[in-house]
Amino acid sequence: MFRNARVSAGAPLEEVMDLLVYRAGGWFCGMEWADRYQPEMWRAAERLPSDRVQALTRTRDAVQALTSRQEGWRLTLRDAIAQRCFDCIRTTDFMGAAYRNAGLPGFLTVRLARGGSGHTVAAVRDERGRVMVLDGQDPKSRAEEWPRLFFKRGGNNDPYTVELLGRGLDSWIFLEGYFLYGPASGTLVRAPVPYLKGYEQPYSGSPAGATGENLPRRHRPPDLIRPRSPRGDEKAR
């Protein structure tokens, strides 16, 4: 609380809850109450700047310095640190714990769904209200804005949907989803979450900043697709 008072005076209720209620940062977090307070997280937290995106990037660097292998099924941060094995979930968990231990609010997660597999990455709501996404397992990645970073994705390893997850009363809850493939491709869906600012009302449609020009055709919702000219258009005639 003292750290939060220094870096985020006058924080709204949901930001204060983000610091206090939850044990760690990612899926399966909170297996042990002390998991969020491992010495490695405290050391990382002490060096974080007040800028939220810069702080998130520093947490990525901190967990990268502890990682020897990117492997899963370490269900606590204590085990992941001891064995120096982090999958995407424990990586995001570490980043969220260190970030929040520094007194910084606004931590979120993004889940990329690929059918039989998926990938979890970290995100924060920055001082301008943007959601900035960072893959903790990629040491060269830079934070990019949600959902804009998915507008021009392509390739066989792409997710078919991406989900933005925020804090519920006891775990993560769905905030927004963006469809990359299928009949709803290019559509953003927002769930109503009355206690979170900006999520009071549901929404389904084109994401802000999306146009028919900057979305590939397979990513465009129907309201952004311009009909193709017939073969025998006026100029051809």
Please write the tens of the pLDDT for every residue from 87-104: 998 999 899 989 988 888
Could you list the residue range(s) of the whole structural domain that residue 136 is in?
A: 11-216
**pLDDT value of position 222:** 46
**Residue 124 belongs to domain with CATH number:** 3.10.620
Q: Please state the domain count of the chain.
A: 1
Asked if residue 229 belongs to a domain, the reply is: no
Q: What is the pLDDT of residues 197-229, one digit of tens each?
A: 888 999 998 886 555 444 545 555 444 444 444
Positions of E strands within 114-235: 118-125, 131-134, 144-145, 161-167, 172-179, 188-190, 203-205
Q: Could you tell me the two tokens for 120?
A: 């979890």
Nearest Cα neighbor of 86 from 71, 73, 96 is: 71
Does the reported pTM lie above 0.85?
Answer: no
Strands, DSSP E only, in 52-205? Answer: 107-113, 118-125, 131-134, 144-145, 161-167, 172-179, 188-190, 203-205
- Residue 146 included in any domain: yes
pLDDT at 159: 85
Residue 2 has pLDDT above 90, yes or no: no
Q: Kindly state whether residue 50 falls inside one of the protein's structural domains.
A: yes
34 assigned to some structural domain: yes
Asked if residue 188 has pLDDT above 60, the reply is: yes
Whether 223 is covered by a domain: the verdict is no
* 176 phi/psi in degrees, rounded to 5: -145, 155
Please report whether residue 114 resides in a domain.
Answer: yes
Tell me the per-residue pLDDT of 124-165, one tens digit each, with 9 for 90 and over. Answer: 999 899 999 999 999 999 999 999 998 876 555 678 899 999
Residue 69 belongs to some domain of the structure: yes
Residue scoring higher pLDDT (7 or 125) = 125
Give the per-residue pLDDT at 76: 87
